[in-house]
Amino acid sequence: MENKIKTIAYDLITAQPSYGSKFHGGGEYVKAVFEELVNKYQGNGAEIIAFYAKDRFLDDWIKDIIRQKNIKTVYIDSPNDIISKISNGEVKCDVFYSAGTIVFDRSVLPKDMVTIGTFHDLRDFEEPVDNYSHIYYDGMVDKIKQYGKYVRRKYLRNRNQGRYAVCAAGYDKIVCVSEHTKAMMETYLPETRDKIEGVLYTPSKHYMAPRNDKISLNVGADYILMISTNRWIKNSYRAIMALDYLYDNKLIDRKTVLVGGLSKAIGKSIRNPDMFDIIPYVNPDELEYLYSNCGLFLYPTLNEGFGMPPLEAMKYGKTCVISALCSLPELYAGSSYLIDPYSVEEMASHIQMALNNPIDRTDIANIYNKITQRQSDDLSKLADMIVGI
């Protein structure tokens, strides 16, 4: 007797632009899982239905896969439209998968359908605000909102914990991207313990060889690199204070490249502006160029569920100085300098230490290869789980 073909409703809209960002970590995850699932199972045990917004950006290589593999598409305006189309019978499927962990009422969906979701982090519970977060915004209204959040930090944590609980209630099976995320969920959302299927590492993003004709940067080489500097969660302000101290005291002479831009307040606070190149936006080819030519990668983030950027730098054998928080020690201990991201003094000393004593490239390569091998293995396991193998 032939096995039944599984019909998979796949949430691809969460790979599309979000909050003004054309490319984002969660979106890269969604695309990598989609590619693996389609290549492994489309027409070979599964029929995949891709849900996404027709009028928003979607990578050409994803569109090529959809055409080549004859993937059925359903156009929607929001992730919750998937739930509506399934609940009203417009789309029939055996499995619904989302890596965007959208909130929905499980009771409106067929009982025999399986809902699977990937939880990347509990960031809004763990770190809903920082005492410097307001200075990352130029608009007065946003500044006031952020400062108000700082005052109401405890309230926000409790509220966001409840929101994560409501979100988790919609999924029959939950995948976590790190042991840190799993431990946080089991500890603060104990009702999810029986749903969590395990830890499957975030996959590497789809690789496309950089094209030189897409690169228009002139930043030299051996610089210190930071990315996403416009986002307070990435903690660029404290890092800039640490770097300024080193420049003030003539302890380092190499420049720092800041990708993502800065608010006016942070920009004005810089004491050594000639030592910083501020780049508001780079395309994927330029980002690869920056990783490959930097002398040190600095990632003082305040919260991560997995933390892909250090791996992108390690691909080129680069020494990294990164936060000793959340999932990062789990992945990168032994291949990077770990810091307390709230301590400007420790950050400065470890930047100095890393520049004077780069980590051996063999050690970096060993950890990099170990992580990427598990990423590949876990991606295959996730595709099997979605299909029910």
Query: What's the pLDDT score for residue 292?
Result: 94
Same domain, 115 and 200: yes
Domain presence at residue 106: yes
Q: What is the pLDDT of residue 246?
A: 98
Is residue 30 domain-resident?
yes
CA-to-CA distance for 167 and 169, rounded, in angstroms?
5
State the chain's mean pLDDT as an integer.
94
Residue 238 in domain: yes
Position 28 scores a pLDDT of 92
**Residue 37 resides in a domain:** yes
**Percentage of the residues of the chain whose pLDDT score is greater than 70:** 97
Question: Among 139-153, 240-254, 258-272, 305-319, where is mean pLDDT lowest?
Answer: 139-153
Yes or no: say if 83 and 108 are a contact pair by the CB < 8 Å rule.
yes
pLDDT at residue 1, rounded to an integer:
34
189 and 237 together in one domain: no
Evaluate if residue 67 carries a pLDDT over 70. Answer: yes
Q: What percent of the chain has pLDDT over 90?
A: 86
- Would you say residue 114 has pLDDT above 70? yes
The answer as to whether 19 is a domain residue is yes
**10 and 122 housed in the same domain:** yes
Indicate whether 236 pLDDT > 80. yes
Q: Are residues 226 and 156 in the same domain?
A: no
Asked whether residue 383 is domain-assigned, the answer is yes
Residue 17 has pLDDT above 50, yes or no: yes
Q: Are residues 174 and 273 in the same domain?
A: no
Please state, as a whole number, how many other Cβ atoms lie within 10 Å of the Cβ of residue 296.
Answer: 22
Residue 21, pLDDT score: 60
Residues 347 and 367 in one domain: yes
Longest dimension (CA), the chain: 76
Question: Per-residue pLDDT tens for 270-312?
Answer: 999 999 999 999 988 999 999 999 999 999 999 999 999 999 9
300 Cα distance to chain centroid: 15
Tell me the HSE value of 164 on the side-chain side, using a 13 A CA sphere. Answer: 27
Residue whose tokens read 């909102």: 145
Residue 1 lies in a domain: no
- Do 228 and 294 lie in a common domain? yes
> Does 143 reside within a domain?
yes
Residue type present at position 295: G
Same domain, residue pair 190 and 48: yes
**Are 148 and 50 in a shared domain?**
yes
Residue 128 has pLDDT above 70, yes or no: yes
d(CA 220, CA 197) in angstroms, rounded, equals 46
229 and 366: one domain?
yes
71 vs 20, which has greater pLDDT?
Answer: 71
* pLDDT, mean of residues 51-58: 94
What is the total count of domains within the chain? 2
> How confident is the model at residue 20, as a pLDDT?
57
Query: By CB neighbour count within 10 A (0-12 exposed, 13-18 middle, 19+ buried), where does 32 fall?
Result: buried
What local confidence, expressed as pLDDT, does residue 24 receive?
62
Please state the pTM of the whole predicted model: 0.92
What integer pLDDT is reported at residue 214 of this predicted model? 80
Range of the domain at 196: 6-204+375-387
Within this chain, do residues 79 and 173 fall inside the same structural domain, yes or no?
Answer: yes
Query: Tokens 């405890």 appear where?
Result: 154
Q: Quick one: 139 and 226 in the same domain?
A: no
CATH for 65 = 3.40.50.2000
In this prediction, residue 23 has a pLDDT band, given cuts at 50, 70 and 90, of: low
